[in-house]
Every structure is written in C-alpha cells, then in structure tokens.
A and B are shown apart, each in its own frame.
Chain A
Amino acid sequence: MSDEIVLSATGLGKQVSSPEGTLTILENINLQVSSGEVVALVGPSGAGKTTLLALLAGLDHPTSGSVELCGSRLEELDEDGRAQVRGRDVGFVFQSFHLVPSLTALENVMLPLELAEADNAAQRAREALESVGLGSRTGHYPRQLSGGEKQRVAIARAFVSNPAVLFADEPTGNLDTASGDRVSELLFNLNKQSGTTLILVTHDKELAARCDRVLELEAGRMLNRS
C-alpha cells in the first residue's frame, strides 16, 4: 500500500435550495484517501452518504470546497472533463445494479472497454466474468439473472477497466444476506488482487468493519476523523 493520495476533499459542502429555503446536505467535509485504501462510509439514512459519493466521483458539483481525484481538481473541470477523469480512473458499483437491459452480461461488461476503445474488449470482459464466477452466463440478459448475479456482473464491469478508484453505493443493499455476502466477498477479493482504492457506502456494520478505515457521516457532517 503506497501513501500516494488518490482522492482528497477539502471544505466540501453541498446545499440545495428548496421551497423552505436553503438546505445544507453536506458541510465542511475534509478527507484524504491513499492509493489502495479501502474506506467505508457509514451513517444513518439521509446523512448524505450518496451525496458525498457523488461529489467525490465528480457526478455532481459541490457548493463549496474542492475535490482532487487522481491528480485532477474536479471543480475546475466541466462536465465532459469530469467524465473524462471517470472514464480513465473510476469504476462504480450501484445498489440497483444498473445493467443495460438490452445487452447481454458480456456486452454489459464490455461497455467501459468499448467506450475507451480498448483492445481485446470481448476477451477481457470474458475473463472478468469468469473471475466473478459467471463465465457460463455470458450470453444471458439481465432479466435472466438473479439480483446477486446481476451485481456480480456489475462488479466485473467495474473492475474490467482497472480503475484507480472504485465507488460502491450500498452494493449489497438490494440483496438477501447470502448473495450479499457473496458479492461483498468478491468485491474485497478483487480489490485485494488489483490494489484498487475502494470507497464503499454501506449500512452493514460487518462489512464496514472489514475496511481499512470507517468514515461516519451524520446530518451532513463527518463525525470521527481517523
């Protein structure tokens, strides 16, 4: 584990205007994540975890503060610039899988490679599917897969482009315990193999405990600073 900082946030804040006035969702968040680190983001529902994840990944822009991701200051980039950073360095795993329904499992995994015009897309995607134990399901469509299987396809898709940072928002939130366990097991294993930095939002105490570090959010503020 090197000490290079791949992700840092300083004075990060997010406010939205609502009919009842300005609503502060996040306030003065500061954090630094080193390369290869596995960080859990926990907190009660509505604490702002997803919002923070979106800001860190450049999917949304903060009201104040700044984010540096893999050497790029996100607030200095426009939407396309941030997309470029994501395409190069970021992977996602979502609570609701987000597989493209009209694509087979293999094609879903190929998608990031195709976007990056990578060579051997099909071969690499097949290997990725094998590494999540779905080598025999390549031609199946999402609707022919169970929830756990879908999430494993999504994990294969997230790892296939060797991202520097992987963001996961409650990856087991929609799964029963057994398949949830299997998914988190895979996530940790692949992460260990590839040395990816992992930011994991979860409600699961056990899962959080397995991480290198746990950040706790409550009502938009970071509680402990470890």
Chain B
Amino acid sequence: MKSLRFAIRSLVRDLRAGELTVLLFAMIIAVTSMTAVGFFTDRVGRAMQAQAAETLAADLLIRSPVEIGDTYLQAGAAAGMRTAATAEFPTVAIAPGGRSLSIVTAATEGYPLRGTVLIADKMFGDSYAADGVPEPGTAWAEAGVMARLDVDLGDTIKLGSAEFRLTKVLEFRPDQGMGFMSLAPAIIVNAADVAAMDVIRPGSRVTHKQLFAGTPEQTAAFRAAWQDRLQPEERISSIEDASEQIASAIERAKRFLTLASLVTVILAAVATAMASRRYALRHLDTVALLKSMGASQAFIQQTMLAQLALIVLSTAAIGTALGFAGQTVLAELSARLTPFTLPEPSMQAALLGLVTAATVAIGFALPQLLQLRTTPPLRVLRHDLAPPQLSTGLLYGVAIAALVTMIWSIVQELKLLLYIVGGMAAMSLVAVGAGWVLVRAFTRFRGAGGVAWRYGLANISRRGRESVVQVVAFGLGIMVLLLLTVVRNDVLRDWERSLPENTPNYFLLNIEPGDWDDIARLFQQELGAVPEFLPLIRGRITAINGTSINDYEFPSQQAENFVRREANLTWTPTLADSNKMVAGEWWPEGYEGALQISIEDQFARNMGVGIGDTLEFSVGGEIVTAPIVSTRRIAWDSLQPNFYIVFSPGDVRQLPQTYLSSLYIADEKSAVLRTLLQRYPGITVFDLQVILTQVRSIIDRASMAVQYVFLFTLLAGVVVLLAAVQVTRDERRFESAILHTLGARRSQILKGIAAEFIALGGLAGFLASLGASAIGYLLARFVFDLAFAIDPLLWITGLLSGALIVGITGTLATRKAVNEPPVRVLRNA
C-alpha cells in the first residue's frame, strides 16, 4: 500500500520531469498500432460472419434437386426452430412487350429467415425491407426483368402457365449469391403458385431448399440429428460451411496486418529498452538515496512493479483509445473492399492492447527496472558502485521470450512461428550488419566537408552502436513503406499485363448454343469481329475411379465442398493464355475423340486425383466418364473465365450447356448490345468496366490500409531516434557547453548536430532503399515473374525522406541541450 502511494507520487514526478516521455511514447505507439489493426480485423471478421448467415438466408439449410418432403420441416418446427422453404428454377418470363430468362424463387411465408429482402415501390425507387413474401398471384421482379419485358408495376407477366401481377420491384435477396450464374434477373413469387406454373418437371433444373433458423445449439443439434439420415441427393449446409472460407481469408489478412504491426511493436520495444536502460541508470543514485533513508529492497521492488503496472495500464488505455480512433481510418480506407457495413467495434481488441503493453513492459523494461532494487545503499558514499550487472543472456533471453510469445499468440502455428522468428533474426542480422558497414564506411568521409560536417560525422562514429541502432530502426520504418509501393506497383503491373490487348469489357452469359451462329453473324456485321465463346456445363462429380463420392475419402474439406455442389465445367479445343500446363499433354488440334479431362493442379491435389484417374459426372441426368490426361495451373486474377475441369471437344457437345463469351465493345458501338438483347432476351450482359475499376481501387485501398499500418512503424522509428537522443543528451549537453566555452557559436554547434542527423537519416534511407530494392527484386523475379527495373524515384524518396525526417526530428530533439547556458552545465557536472 505504502509502496503504491509512493509509486504513484514518484511516477507523477518523473512524468513531469520528462523522465518517462520516450518510454510512454514508445509503448503507446506499440499499443496503438496493435489495437488499430485488432479493432479493424475484428469488425471485418464479425461483419463477414453475419454476412455468411445472410447469404444462406438461414442458419442451416437442406437443398436438393428433387422435392424434399416435410419430415425435416416438421422436425425443425418441433425443435422450436423457424422454418421456410423455397424452390429456385430458371424460367422464361413473358409479357406482351418481350421475354426474359429469369431465376424464380418460390418462397413460403417466413422467407428469408436471416437477412432481409429489399423491395421498392417503383423502378429505381427507394428500397425498404419487405414484410413477408408476395401474395399468391403476385410477383416481385428485378428492374432488369421489367425493363426487358417492358412492363411496370401493376402489369401482368406470365411464368409457365400462370399469370402474376407485379406488385413490387425486387432490389435485393440475401441469398442471391455473387457468382456469374446468379446473374440472371430474379423474380420472387409465393410458393403456393408453383403448381399452377407447371414448370417443374422431372429433369428440369430446380433447387429445392428448406431453411431453418434458431439458436446455435438448436442448429447444431438439428444438424447432428439429421445429417447422416439425408437422402443421397440432399445436401445440408450451415453458416460454418459458408463462412469457413471467408473466415480463413479473414484470418490470413488479420495475421498479415498483425504481423505488420508487430514490426512496429518490435521497434517500439527497442525504444522501450533504450529508455528503460537510461531510466535505470539515472535512478541508481535515487534508489541508493532511498535505501539510505530506510527503504527496503522489497519496497523498491514493489515501487518499480507498481510503477510499471501503472505505465502498462495507462499506455494500454491511451494506446487503445488512439487505436480505436485509428481503426476508423482503416475502416474508411476499406469501405469499398467490403460490400457491407461494419458492425460496431467490440472491446476484445482492448485486451490485445493490454497484452501488448504488458509484453513490451515485461520483456523490455522490467528486467532493467527490477535490477535497480539491488543498488547498494553504499553508493551514496561511493558513487562508482553499481548494482551487479544483469547477464546479457538473461536480458536478451527475456526480451526474445516476450517477442516469441507475442508472435505465437498471433500465428499459433509452430512452422509459421519458426519461419517468422528465423526470418526476423536473419533480417535483423543483415540489417545490423549492413547498418554497421554503412556507418563505418560513411564516417570515413569525415574530411570531405566543413567543421560542422566533420563534427557531426565524428559523433556518428563515436556513438557507433547507437548510430547503427538508429540507422537500422529508422531504415526499417522507411523500408516497409517503400516496399509496399514497390509491391503495389508490381501487383498492378502484373495484373494489367495479364489483360490482353483490347481487354474485354463485356461478359455475355446464358447463350443458347443453337443461337451462337446467328449471334456470331451479328457481331461480324456490327463489330467486324467474332468473339470466342466458352461452353458452360453444369454438372456434379458422382464417382472417382468408380468409387461413389459418398464413399470417397477426400484429402481436403475444400475439395469435398466443391464436389458436393453443382460445378461449372467446360470444353475447349485450345488451352487458354491464362493457363499453364503442369503435367500431361493438352489434346491435339482438331481432336474430337473419346472424352478427356484437363484438371487444375491444386484442385486435383485437393481431390487426391491425378493423371490417369477417371472421373464420373452427372450432367442434367446424363452420366459421363472420362480420364484425366493433364493438369494445369490457372492465373485466377486474369479476369478470364476459368475452370477447374475442362473436357476435350467431341461428344460433349451433346450435353446440356450454355455458352458464355467476353468481348470488347467500344462505347460508340454499344448499340449492338440492345439489338442482341432484343433478339435474345435470355442472354445476360455483364459490364466488366465496373469490375476493372473496382479491382484497381481494391488494390489501391488494400495497399493504403497496409501503408497506414506501416506508418506506425515509421513513428516507432522516430521514437527509437528520440530514445537514442535522450540517452546521449547529458553527454551532448556537456560537449556543447565545452564547445561554447571554446568559442563556438550556437549556430555552428547546431549545424554540426544537423549534419549528424541528416547523415544518419540519409544512411537509414539508403539502407531502406537498398532493402526495398532487394526484396522488390526477389518478389518481381520469383513471385510476379516481372522484369525488375531499378526505380530512381524509390532511391530519391528513401534518401530524402530519411534525411529530412531524421534530420529535423533529431535536431529538434537535441536543440535544447545546445541551448542551455554553458555555465550551468559545467557547474552541475
């Protein structure tokens, strides 16, 4: 108790005297950087979880291509869950003014169980949440259908044999999906009208769904009770399945950003260690004095612990508050990366702030502060007595243990931990080595300038160790920022290069194969060119090497999930540019023989199949089998339609399929699209320009978000600089006093100091540019497969920003030492 009160009092006094400024600053930056990322990733993560439930429109659903029966619905209702059912099928909507292929969802009351259907009272009017489903005999249709049919609300359309009055414009269904295939415009009707429509016949493409929602316990219990008793064609899925992929993507992004901010934490920790060392050194006398006045070792220890605890709590609080403010910037930057609004930040990240502060404090400040307690009281009489030195092994051991613990808590994977720790160790060795060489080599130029220059460089070489630390810390901060611009440019360049000349700006979907010749003629006539087409076959893998997939052991969950869904398949005579052969042979030109398969390499591995294995498919009720003859790798970012599984040309033409195509249509020629849509209303046209700009802006924003995180790293570099300046302040004060008395003018001394820091900053910038170029080269060479060019702008930016930032902050921080009147300094020496 006594020590706590004393601890608070002396903490306040130390604060006021500026003894703790750098220490606090360093810890606050560490916490801010960690929590900003923590808050942000937590928000995105939760938003995506919620989104996952909405895309199912339920917590759990059972789907089947045939009617399901009432057993499950009754069981769900009996278990206290909410239920609903839908049937989804494509059909042609007909009105006097036109026809349009559309996806009809026939829903029972209660749909959707999760998320909301948005509707509007007029085309492009304000949307609002629908209350229930359409009344029998009425329909809600998307504006796309209405435009093509040339109808308005109140008009009647025909679906199959039934007529429907349009009552609302459909704006959004939670389970509308985002894939290409869900792009046909949608209509919602009441489930009671399905029979009257008379469009669902054996063999027609329909998905029956039964939806269930309840507490997580109810959902889990329901799933456990039924998932092994389903009919073969029935599939059960719940939020976990849907969000698994999302969760792993989020997890990866989170790890990356957290590791990025770990660089900041490490630099801040270095500054913390430097500041604590100075604090301990400066408090040796005070502790000895307290002991001579009767303070016990235990008292000193408790005081130190209490003070550090207070520092941890306050820096965690301040840093977390700043992090909270900081994450709004991240959220703002990423606003267009995520298609939904973020939930309010949860306080979980605050815990992360506390953990960060505690780890930095325990690992980097505590050992040095605790050591103070062993200061002998005799030091009040014999000034040269210092406490027994802590072994360097112990000091570094504790620090490294703290770091490793922290990295472990982020990655939680031994292999990754080893990679990261190893990488960091190697990187620090290289950086420190390079820094040392730079400092040594550079200070040889001492004779090259005036007095100030010589004095500055002399300072750098005299404080060799501190100089290296500063150069490395600061260099690292600048390097990560530079590197990011390099990588961002590489990514964009790589992606743009993968787009062919005249990159297609339109996708055409749902083309009937029989219409293709006419369509080709139309394009030939209007555009002077015929685009390539790509067949699209919807099918399901049913057996592998004769073993039914129900009995097949999948090596990966991902592959199993894929196989259990209806997949997009195609056939083509030629290998697409965005594909690279891995093994086997592509079928020869003009091949029309027995059906063969080319499969994506990674996908094949996930499935546990390879060349020579046979796959069996069910396509629209027909069974086809074919051997795998080659494996490919796909550049997915090429914006070309790509397929895991490709068939060879031949009999495959007989299977039910549609064509899709992509083509470039100049703005002034876009009238051809209207003609196309009038003649073939079933075709869906998809504007790629929108996506192109979106991808660019996503890359821009993502890299801005990361850059923002690295801005903290730069700030941490500044703190290391301040810590180093602080360590040498007394020495500098004394030196400049002596220089003063020797007749040096203030401006001369200041120039010397400025020269020192500008040189240090220049070196840091040089190191940063060197590092960024080297890593940029490796990335360009081995990851992006791009030609590497030395970017003079990078070097200029690195050198200039280093010299400027370090020069200015360093000089400002040291200025006070120079300004002090020499008499006072010398008298107090």
Number of A-B contacts (CB under 8 A): 80
A147 CB contacts on chain B under 8 angstroms: 827
Residues of chain B within 8 A (CB-CB) of A141 are 17
Mark the stretch among A38-46, A96-104, A186-194, A215-223 that contacts chain B.
A96-104
Per-residue contact bits, chain B 342-378, to A (CB 8 Å; 1 contact, 0 not): 0000000000000000000000000000000000111
Instruction: For the complex, give the distance between the alpha carbons of A59 and B378 in Å.
Output: 5
The 0/1 profile, CB within 8 Å of A marked 1, for residues 271-297 of chain B is 000000000001001100111111111
In the complex, A84→B383 CA distance in Å? 22
Q: Is A50 an interface residue (CB 8 A)?
A: yes
A79 close to B (CB within 8 Å): yes
Evaluate whether A115 and B13 lie within 8 angstroms (CB atoms) in the complex, with A50-B382, A94-B380, A94-B381 already known. Answer: no
Shortest distance between the CB of A58 and any CB in chain B (Å): 8
The CA-CA distance from A90 to B828 in the complex, in Å, is 27
A128 to B413, CA, bound (A): 63
Number of contacting residues on A, CB 8 A? 35
A117 at the interface (CB under 8 A from B): yes
Nearest chain A CB to B294 CB, angstrom units: 2
Chain B residues, CB < 8 A from A87: 293-295
Give the contacting residue for A59; candidates B16, B285, B292, B298; CB below 8 A.
B292
Given contacts A101-B17, A115-B6, contact A83 B380 (CB under 8 A): no
B824 within 8 A of A: yes
Q: Which residues of B contact A83 (CB under 8 A)?
A: 291, 294-296, 377
Bound-state Cα–Cα, A54 to B378, Å: 7
- Known contacts: A143-B824, A147-B827. The answer to whether A59 contacts B377 by CB under 8 A is yes
Stretch at the interface among A2-10, A29-37, A106-114: A106-114
* CA A114 to CA B303, docked complex, whole Å: 13
Q: Of all chain A residues, which has the CB nearest B377?
A: A59
How close is B50's CB to chain A, nearest CB, in angstroms? 52
Known A114-B6, A143-B828; contact A59-B296, beta-carbon cutoff 8 A: no
CB within 8 Å for A86 and B294 given contacts A50-B381, A59-B377, A114-B9: yes
On whether the beta carbons of B286 and A100 are closer than 8 Å, the reply is yes
Q: Determine whether B234 belongs to the interface, using a CB cutoff of 8 Å to chain A.
A: no
How long is the Cα–Cα vector from A173 to B691 in the complex, in angstroms? 83
A112 to B16, CA, bound (A): 20
Within 8 A of A (CB), among B287-333: 289-298
Chain B positions within 8 Å of A102 at CB level? 13-14, 16-17, 19
Q: In the complex the two chains form, is A53's CB within 8 Å of B827's CB?
A: no
Q: Give Cα A204 to B410, complex, Å.
A: 67
Closest residue of chain A to B17, judged by CB? A102
Contact across chains for B294 and A53 when beta carbons are under 8 A apart: no
Chain B 526-557, CB within 8 Å of chain A: the 1/0 string?
00000000000000000000000000000000
Give the complex CA separation of A18 and B13 in angstroms: 41
A80 and B297 contacting across the interface, CB-CB below 8 Å: yes
For the complex, what is the distance from the CA of A59 to the CA of B297, rounded to whole Å? 13
Q: Is B201 an interface residue (CB 8 A)?
A: no
Question: In chain B, what residue has the closest Cβ to A112?
Answer: B293
Q: Verify B293–A111 contact, CB threshold 8 A.
A: yes
User: Is the CB–CB distance between A98 and B285 below 8 Å?
Assistant: yes
B2 within 8 A of A: yes
| Chain B hits for A59, CB < 8 A | 292, 376-378, 380-381
Q: Which residue of A lies closest to B20 (CB)?
A: A102
Given A53-B381, A98-B285, A88–B294 Cβ distance below 8 Å? Answer: yes
A92 CB–B CB distance under 8 Å: yes
* Contact A98–B824 (Cβ < 8 Å): no
- Contact of B294 with A54 in the complex, beta carbons under 8 Å: no
Bound CA span A87–B378, Å:
15
With A59-B380, A83-B295, A102-B14 as contacts: A117 and B289 at CB distance below 8 Å? no
Q: Which residues of B contact A98 (CB under 8 A)?
A: 285, 289, 380
Q: What per-residue 1/0 map shows which CB atoms of B705-735 lie under 8 Å from chain A? A: 0000000000000000000000000000000
- Given A60-B378, A147-B827, are A100 and B294 neighbors across the interface (CB < 8 Å)? no
Q: Cβ of B824: which chain A residues have Cβ within 8 Å of it? A: 143
Closest CB-CB distance, B784 to chain A, in whole Å? 55
* Pair B13/A103 contact, Cβ less than 8 Å: yes
Closest CB in chain A relative to B10 CB, distance in Å: 8
Beyond A102-B17, A102-B19, A103-B13, whether A115 also contacts B294 by CB under 8 A is: yes
Asked if A209 is an interface residue, CB under 8 A from chain B, the answer is no
A96 near B383: Cβ-Cβ < 8 Å: yes
Q: Indicate if the CB atoms of B378 and A117 lie closer than 8 Å.
A: no
Most buried by B among A103, A107, A169: A103
Residues of chain B within 8 A (CB-CB) of A54 are 378, 381-382
CB neighbours (8 Å) of B377 from chain A are 59, 79, 83, 86
Is A116 part of the contact surface with B, judged by Cβ < 8 Å?
Answer: yes
Q: Which of A80, A85, A117, A146 has the most CB of B within 10 A?
A: A80
A80 to B291 Cα, complex, angstroms: 9
Q: Contact mask B1-21 → A, CB, 8 Å, 1/0? A: 010001001000110110100
Within 8 A of B (CB), among A122-180: 141, 143, 146-147, 169
For B6, the chain A residues whose CB sits under 8 A away are: 114-115
What distance in Å separates the Cβ of B548 from its nearest Cβ neighbour in chain A?
Answer: 79
- What are the interface flags for B795-824 relative to A under an 8 Å C-beta threshold, 1 for contact and 0 otherwise? 000000000000000000000000000001
**Chain B residue at minimum C-beta to C-beta distance from A82:** B377
Q: Which residue of A lies closest to B3 (CB)?
A: A115
Residues 37-75 of chain A, each 1 if its beta carbon lies under 8 Å from chain B, else 0:
000000000000010011001011000000000000000
Smallest Cβ distance from A220 to chain B, in angstroms?
16
Give the interface centre of A50, A80, A102, A116 by most chain B CB atoms within 10 Å: A102
Q: Considering only CB atoms, which chain B residue lies closest to A79 in the complex?
A: B297
Residues of B within 8 A of A114 (CB): 6, 9
Q: Do residues A80 and B296 form an inter-chain contact, with CB atoms below 8 A? A: yes
With a cutoff of 8 Å between Cβ atoms, the chain B residues found around residue A79 in the complex are 296-297, 377
B430 to chain A, nearest CB (A): 40
Query: How far does the alpha carbon of A107 sit from the alpha carbon of B285 in the complex, in Å?
Result: 16
Q: Pick the contact of B289 from A57, A100, A116 — CB < 8 Å?
A: A100
CA distance A212 to B282 in the complex (A): 39
Contact in complex: A116, B297 (CB < 8 Å):
no
Report the bound CA distance from A80 to B282 in whole Å: 23
Which of B13, B14, B294, B383 lies at the interface centre, i.e. has the most chain A CB atoms within 10 A of its CB? B294
- Whether the Cβ atoms of B295 and A107 lie closer than 8 Å is no
Complex CA distance for A87 and B300, rounded to whole angstroms = 14
Measured CA separation A143–B821 after assembly (Å): 12
Complex alpha-carbon distance, A133 and B293, angstroms: 23
Q: Is the CB of B827 within 8 A of A115?
A: no
| A112–B294 CA distance with the chains assembled, in angstroms | 8
Shortest beta-carbon distance from A143 to chain B in Å: 6
Determine the residue in chain B with the shortest Cβ distance to A91: B293
Least CB distance, B372 to chain A, in whole angstroms: 14
A116 near B381 with CB under 8 A, answer no
Q: How far is the CA of A154 from the CA of B197 in the complex (A)?
A: 102
Please measure, in the bound complex, the distance between the C-alpha atom of A54 and the C-alpha atom of B380, giving whole angstroms: 9
In the assembled complex, the Cα of A20 lies from the Cα of B378 at a distance in Å of 24
Which residues of the other chain, A, contact B286 by a CB distance below 8 angstroms?
Answer: 100
CB-CB < 8 A to B295: which residues of A?
83, 87, 115
Specify the chain A residue showing the minimal Cβ separation from B827.
A147
B374 (CB) vs chain A CBs: closest residue: A79
A101 to chain B: which residues have CB within 8 Å? 17, 282
In the complex the two chains form, what is the Cα distance from A143 to B827 in whole Å?
Answer: 9
Q: A60-B378, A94-B381, A101-B17 are in contact. Are A84 and B296 (CB under 8 A)?
A: yes
The smallest beta-carbon distance between A72 and chain B, in angstroms, is 12
* A96 vs B289: C-alpha distance when bound (angstroms): 12
Q: Chain B contacts of A94 at CB under 8 A?
A: 380-381
Q: Pick 10 A–B contacts, CB within 8 A, sort by A.
A: A59-B376, A83-B291, A83-B295, A84-B296, A86-B293, A92-B292, A96-B383, A100-B289, A102-B14, A111-B289
6 tightest A-B CB contacts, nearest first = A87-B294, A102-B17, A80-B296, A59-B378, A86-B294, A112-B293
Spell out B's residues near A (CB within 8 Å). 2, 6, 9, 13-14, 16-17, 19, 282, 285-286, 289-298, 376-378, 380-383, 824, 827-828
Inter-chain pairs besides A59-B380, A83-B377, A102-B19, 13 sampled, C-beta below 8 Å: A50-B382, A54-B381, A54-B382, A59-B381, A79-B296, A80-B297, A83-B296, A88-B294, A90-B294, A92-B293, A98-B285, A98-B380, A147-B827
